[in-house]
Amino acid sequence: MPFLRFLTAALALAVAPLALGTPEKWAAAIDKFTETDAIHPPPKDGIVFVGSSSIVKWTSLERDFPGLKVINRGFGGSELGDSAFYVERIVIPYRPRVVVVYAGDNDLQAGKSPEDVLADFQSFSSKIHSALPKARIVYIAIKPSPSRWSIKDKIVRANELIAAECAKDKRDAFADVYTPMLNAKGEPRPELFVKDMLHMNEKGYAIWKEIVLPFLPKP
């Protein structure tokens, strides 16, 4: 019995990193950012957009926010904890005035709880405010994707927790894109999404632009 208990504990430790996520799998993507920065250094004092594929696919950032120095550092498929893990490499070196982050639905879909997502946001914001005390963080609410409507309750709860967290610090802001992406019945608007019903089309990003813009500095 003692051996069996030892074996069980050892196995639990072995699989724990997988259960908590493995940010190391994004090392190649982060290295590519570093290599690009060495050749073409991005501007300081700008606005960094970071997070999962919804940030990666926001290819109209420069057109949507003219006159602002925007930097896209999204890496598709990532979770909020991944952005927190790599914040010293893909956010802080640019000394941004504002950090806009979108991540969380991949986390919930993978089995994390809303409280887990909140903890990752707290880690993310803590690292940024420690290194850049004047920087503002804008958290884009987890969107209501039709393909992930089965986890609606978790999405709503995570958004509530992070909105409450943002309200505690005047440097943090919660950009509620969730509400305007619902129809009159309180359901996701499919016309805002591409065929996979997970990622957005131009209409979806137009809503994001409208919601995020007031939180950014004037050009």
The pLDDT value recorded for residue 22 is: 77
The stretch 80-98 carries a mean pLDDT of: 96
CATH number of the domain that residue 57 is part of: 3.40.50.1110
More confident residue, 4 or 46: 46
Q: Does the pTM of the predicted model rise above 0.85?
A: yes
In a domain, 207, yes or no: yes
H helices present in the chain, as ranges = 2-19, 27-39, 53-56, 61-64, 80-85, 87-90, 105-109, 114-131, 152-166, 202-212
The stretch 101-126 carries a mean pLDDT of: 98
Q: Is the pLDDT of residue 134 over 70?
A: yes
Our measurement of the distance from residue 18's CA atom to the centroid of its chain's CA atoms, rounded to an integer in Å, reads 20
Q: How many angstroms separate the CA atoms of 138 and 106, rounded?
A: 19
Neighbours of 160 (CB within 10 A): 14
pLDDT in tens, 120-130: 999 999 999 99
Instruction: Count structural domains, the chain.
Output: 1
In a domain, 32, yes or no: yes
In a domain, 18, yes or no: no
The pLDDT value recorded for residue 21 is: 57
Mean of the per-residue pLDDT values of the chain: 91
Our measurement of the distance from residue 142's CA atom to the centroid of its chain's CA atoms, rounded to an integer in Å, reads 8
Name the 3-class secondary structure at 14.
Answer: helix
In a domain, 2, yes or no: no
Share of the chain above pLDDT 70, in %: 90
**Residue in 100, 168, 171, 169 with CA at minimum distance from that of residue 139:** 100
In a domain, 11, yes or no: no
Q: Is the pLDDT of residue 97 over 70?
A: yes
The pLDDT value recorded for residue 23 is: 86
H helices present in 40-143, as ranges = 53-56, 61-64, 80-85, 87-90, 105-109, 114-131
pLDDT in tens, 9-64: 333 333 333 334 578 999 999 999 999 999 999 999 999 999 999 999 999 999 99
Question: What is the residue range of 72's domain?
Answer: 25-215
In a domain, 143, yes or no: yes
Q: How many angstroms separate the CA atoms of 128 and 90, rounded?
A: 11
